């Protein structure tokens, strides 16, 4: 029986940008124990969560994803503002928004989604919203205390990065939280083409 790997497809942040975003995250942390904050070293934008997949199926799927991404160009993504799902007063998820590059990330997610659907993965029902998750409420509905801090951060510019690769990531669940590792990567094309 093939090993099953809890996995997802994502774009990972470089460490210098993650450190800048951690500064905003620190302003939100406060003393409220209701929040589980993402380790800044693990910050990423998920394009598709796969769940537990047999290693042999994962290899085949990744080849299809790479074929689908062929011809995709590298681009710049910039991060601005902190917000919450569903809203700051009833926050369940706190996130950083993507300004420049949001359409390109949505296109990458669409291509990945298409490749995954051809391998039997269910399509996402909600539209793709480019963002970085900073934290999740342990008790949904108890996040109203972040509203004032989020208001102060809703327009802050947090930096930018070049999105030049897509990663297949492994997620290992531990008592201390998820540990992510890179299984595979696919570089995006650089430069201008007429």
Residues catalogued as catalytic: 44, 131
SS3 33: coil
Cis omega (within 30 of 0) for bond into 186: no
> Would you say 135 and 37 are in contact if contact means Cβ atoms under 8 Å apart?
yes
HSE-CB at 39 with a 13 A cutoff on CA atoms is 7
> Would you say 81 and 156 are in contact if contact means Cβ atoms under 8 Å apart?
yes
> CB under 8 Å, gap of 24 or more: what pairs does 180-189 form?
180/42, 180/44, 182/12, 183/5, 183/7, 183/58, 183/62, 184/62, 186/65, 186/66, 186/69, 188/69, 188/72, 188/73, 188/74, 188/75, 188/163, 188/164, 189/71, 189/72, 189/73, 189/74
SS3 42: helix
**Start-to-end Cα distance in the chain:** 48
């Amino acid at each position: 029986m093939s090993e099953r790997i809890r996995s997802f497809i994502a774009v990972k942040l470089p460490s210098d940008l993650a450190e800048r975003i951690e500064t905003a995250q620190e302003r939100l942390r406060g003393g409220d124990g209701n929040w589980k904050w993402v380790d800044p070293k693990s910050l990423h934008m998920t394009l598709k969560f796969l769940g537990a997949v047999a290693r042999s199926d994962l290899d085949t799927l990744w080849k299809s994803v790479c074929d689908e991404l062929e011809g995709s160009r590298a681009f710049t993504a910039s991060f601005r503002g902190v917000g919450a799902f569903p809203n700051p007063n009833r926050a369940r998820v706190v996130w950083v928004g993507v300004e420049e590059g949001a359409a390109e990330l949505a296109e990458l997610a669409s291509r990945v989604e298409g490749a995954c659907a051809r391998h039997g993965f269910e399509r996402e029902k909600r539209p793709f919203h480019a963002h970085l998750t900073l934290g999740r409420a342990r008790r949904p509905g108890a996040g109203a205390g972040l509203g004032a801090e989020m208001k102060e951060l809703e327009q802050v510019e947090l930096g930018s990065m070049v999105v030049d690769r897509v990663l297949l990531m492994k997620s290992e669940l531990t008592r201390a939280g998820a540990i992510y590792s890179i299984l595979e990567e696919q570089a995006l094309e650089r430069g201008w083409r007429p």
